[in-house]
C-alpha cells in the first residue's frame, strides 16, 4: 500500500544517497577544510550529520542515541575545535552508516497513524517548532541537505563536483 510513511522511507533513501554523494568523494584532509571560519569545517559537519540522524530515534520515541558522546562535540551550538581534536573521519563515517541503518529500521516499521502524534520530546506542543512526528521527519531530511550543501562546497573546491 502506498502510504505517507512509505513515501518518507523513499525520501529518506534519497536524502542518504545525496549526503553520501557529498561525503564519499572527500579525503580525510579535505574534511579538515574550514567552511564558515570559526563556526564549522568538514569534520564538524560530518559529526553534526551523525548526531542529527542519531537523535531522530529519540524524537520518534524509538530508542536512545547510539553515540551520546558526540553531542557535546557536534550538537547545535557546540564550540568549534580544530579538526585534529575530533574523532577520526573514518570513525565518523562508520557512525554515519550505523545511524542510517538504525533509521532504516524505524522507517520500515513506521505507520501513518504515528505521523500526526506529538513527537516524543515535546514539552509544550504549542511552542514546539516541530510539534508532530511528521514535521520531525520533514525537518530532519531538509536539515541534512542544508549541511550536505555546506560539505558540497569542499567537494566543489576539490573539483569533484560541479555544485
How far is residue 55's CA from residue 111's CA, in Å, rounded to a whole number? 19
Dump strand ranges (E) for the chain: 34-36, 40-41
The least distance separating a copy of itself from the CB of residue 153, rounded to whole angstroms, comes to: 5
Question: How many alpha carbons lie under 13 Å from residue 79 in its C-beta half-sphere?
Answer: 2
Please identify, using beta-carbon distances, which residue of 81 and 142 lies nearer to a copy of itself. 142
Cβ distance 15 to 144 under 8 Å?
A: yes
Q: Beta partners for 40?
A: 36
* 133 binds a copy of itself per the rule CB under 8 A: no
Contact pattern from residue 109 through residue 128 relative to a copy of itself, giving x for each residue in contact according to CB under 8 A and a dash for the rest: ---x---x------------
By CB under 8 A, the residues from 7 to 46 that bind a copy of itself are 7, 10-11, 14-15, 18, 35-37, 39
Q: Please report the sign of the dihedral spanned by the C-alpha atoms of residue 96, residue 146, residue 45, residue 152.
A: positive
By CB under 8 A, the residues from 59 to 118 that bind a copy of itself are 76-77, 112, 116
DSSP secondary structure letter of residue 69: G
Q: How far is CA 82 from CA 17, 22, 33, 94, 148, in A?
A: 28, 21, 10, 21, 20
Please identify, using beta-carbon distances, which residue of 102 and 143 lies nearer to a copy of itself. 143
From 25-33, 56-64, 87-95, 133-141, span contacting a copy of itself (CB under 8 A): 133-141
Residue in the structure block whose three cell numbers are 555544485: 163
The least distance separating a copy of itself from the CB of residue 64, rounded to whole angstroms, comes to: 26
The least distance separating a copy of itself from the CB of residue 5, rounded to whole angstroms, comes to: 10
Binding site for a copy of itself (CB under 8 A): 2-4, 7, 10-11, 14-15, 18, 35-37, 39, 76-77, 112, 116, 134-135, 138-139, 141-143, 145-150, 152-153, 156-157, 162-163
Amino acid at each position: 500500500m502506498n502510504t505517507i510513511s512509505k513515501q518518507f522511507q523513499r525520501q529518506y533513501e534519497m536524502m542518504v544517497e545525496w549526503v553520501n554523494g557529498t561525503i564519499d568523494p572527500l579525503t580525510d584532509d579535505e574534511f579538515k577544510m574550514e567552511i564558515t571560519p570559526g563556526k564549522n569545517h568538514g569534520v564538524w559537519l560530518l559529526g553534526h550529520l551523525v548526531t542529527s540522524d542519531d537523535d531522530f530515534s529519540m524524537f520518534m520515541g524509538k530508542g536512545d542515541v547510539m553515540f551520546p558522546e558526540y553531542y557535546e562535540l557536534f550538537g547545535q551550538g557546540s564550540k568549534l575545535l580544530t579538526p585534529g581534536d575530533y574523532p577520526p573521519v573514518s570513525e565518523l563515517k562508520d557512525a554515519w552508516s550505523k545511524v542510517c541503518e538504525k533509521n532504516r529500521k524505524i522507517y520500515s516499521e513506521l505507520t501513518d497513524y504515528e505521523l500526526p502524534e506529538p513527537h516524543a520530546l515535546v514539552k509544550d506542543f504549542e511552542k514546539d517548532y516541530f510539534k508532530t512526528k511528521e514535521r520531525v521527519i520533514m525537518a530532519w531530511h531538509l536539515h541534512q541537505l542544508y549541511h550536505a550543501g555546506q560539505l558540497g562546497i569542499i567537494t566543489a573546491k576539490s573539483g569533484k563536483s560541479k555544485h
